Amino acid sequence: MINKQPIRIIPKLDIKNGLLIKGINLEGLRVLGDPFYFAREYYDQGADEICYLDNVATLYGTNNLSKFISKTAKDIHIPVSVGGGIRTYHDIENALVSGADKICLNSKIIDNPNFLKKSCRLFGSSNITAIIETTLIEGKYFITKSNGRDLIEIDPVSWAQKIEDLGAGEIFLTCVHKEGLKSGFDLKIIKKICNSVKLPVIAHGGAGKFSDILAVIKNSKVSGVAISSLFHYETCLSFPLPKVFTGNIEFLKRYQNENKNLNIKIIKKLKNYLKRNNIEIR
């Protein structure tokens, strides 16, 4: 019997100032709560990995996810990927030492592709994930840097192939133009990228209904699906409002008020749905 590898379901958490945030097209940030609560809840429900991205690290020249990484690594026994503003070998080392299993790189390797090559040599290919942020403008695909803020005139498919040549272990593909909208994935570009490399590809950006996730799994060779809005909005109803915060908490207050129905175990629900639809799931 052929042992088919299960699809990985990966909650992706964007963090700013120590809080879980969520945006649309990677912008317009709403505070949703303490990321550790979410991570712990997702782990309990059977998430296969967790991905933390420090949302503004490239812009301000900071990199301070260590606290979360360590806390997560200690109590949550699934792989943790970390990214956002990783710019030096020292940053990578610090993240690994804090407890990260995979390091995600984007802006730095666009500026300096050799950094990717050297990082893989130093730390091992399997531990370096390249993030590709792709966006669609007037029918053409480009890539972006700094969490969707800078447009770069490079074709994502050739960039994916270059990333593979340079030694990365995995690709995390975010469709910026679909991100946060909950209107489905961009199957066209996801398929193209998956077919252009041998690397495992994680698709992110667009999950709104369970059927969206089923569609991307059935119509492409994705190795995993990363999900933000769909998970966080359901789960934020289970937790109290954060006591100390900076940022826009208005949405959260209103949303919690309007949606008193608590404790929807969204990851469990999703996994059961996928299993019923014959998808190999852990």
Partner 1 sequence: MSLKIGIIDLNCNNIFSIYGLCKNLNQKTKVIKNYKEFDKKTELIILPGVGAFSNAMQTLRSTNLFEEIYEHTVIKNKKVLGICLGMQLLFESSKEFSLNKGLGFLKGSVQSLPIGKECFPNVGWRKITTKEKKLKKFNNKSFYFIHSYQCIPSEYDIITSHIQYNKKKICSSVEKNNIVGTQFHPEKSGKEGLNLFRNLLK
Binding site for partner 1 (CB under 8 A): 2-3, 5-6, 8, 43, 46, 48, 69-70, 73-75, 77-79, 93, 96-102, 121-127, 169-170, 198-201, 221, 223-224, 282
Q: How far is the CB of 219 from partner 1 (least distance, A)?
A: 17
Give residues with Cβ within 8 angstroms of 255, minimum separation 6.
233, 236, 237
Residues 222 and 19: beta-carbon distance below 8 Å: no
In the chain, % helix, strand, coil (3-state, to 5) comes to 40, 25, 35
Q: How far is the CB of 269 from partner 1 (least distance, A)?
A: 18
Q: Out of 14, 91, 179, 186, which one is annotated catalytic?
A: 14
Residues 245 and 21: beta-carbon distance below 8 Å: no
Q: Which is nearer to partner 1, 68 or 233 (CB)?
A: 68
E strand residue ranges, 128-253: 128-137, 140-145, 150-152, 170-175, 201-204, 224-227
Q: How far is the CB of 259 from partner 1 (least distance, A)?
A: 29
Evaluated on CA atoms 205, 208, 264, 233, the torsion sign reads positive
Q: How far is the CB of 246 from partner 1 (least distance, A)?
A: 28
Q: Residue 14 catalytic?
A: yes
Q: Which is nearer to partner 1, 114 or 257 (CB)?
A: 114
Q: How far apart are CA 148 and CA 26, in angstroms?
A: 6
Q: Which is nearer to partner 1, 144 or 223 (CB)?
A: 223
Q: Which is nearer to partner 1, 11 or 224 (CB)?
A: 224
Residue 243 structure tokens: 């006591």
Provide the 3-class DSSP secondary structure of residue 7.
strand
Smallest CA-to-CA distance from 38 within 234, 178, 275 is with 234
Provide the 3-class DSSP secondary structure of residue 144.
strand
Q: How far apart are CA 237 and CA 165, in angstroms?
A: 44
Q: Which is nearer to partner 1, 70 or 161 (CB)?
A: 70
Locus of tokens 């052929």? 2
Q: Which is nearer to partner 1, 48 or 212 (CB)?
A: 48
Evaluated on CA atoms 277, 78, 92, 95, the torsion sign reads positive
Q: How far is the CB of 87 from partner 1 (least distance, A)?
A: 17
Q: How far is the CB of 60 from partner 1 (least distance, A)?
A: 26
Q: Out of 101, 133, 179, 186, which one is annotated catalytic?
A: 133
Active-site amino acid positions: 14, 133
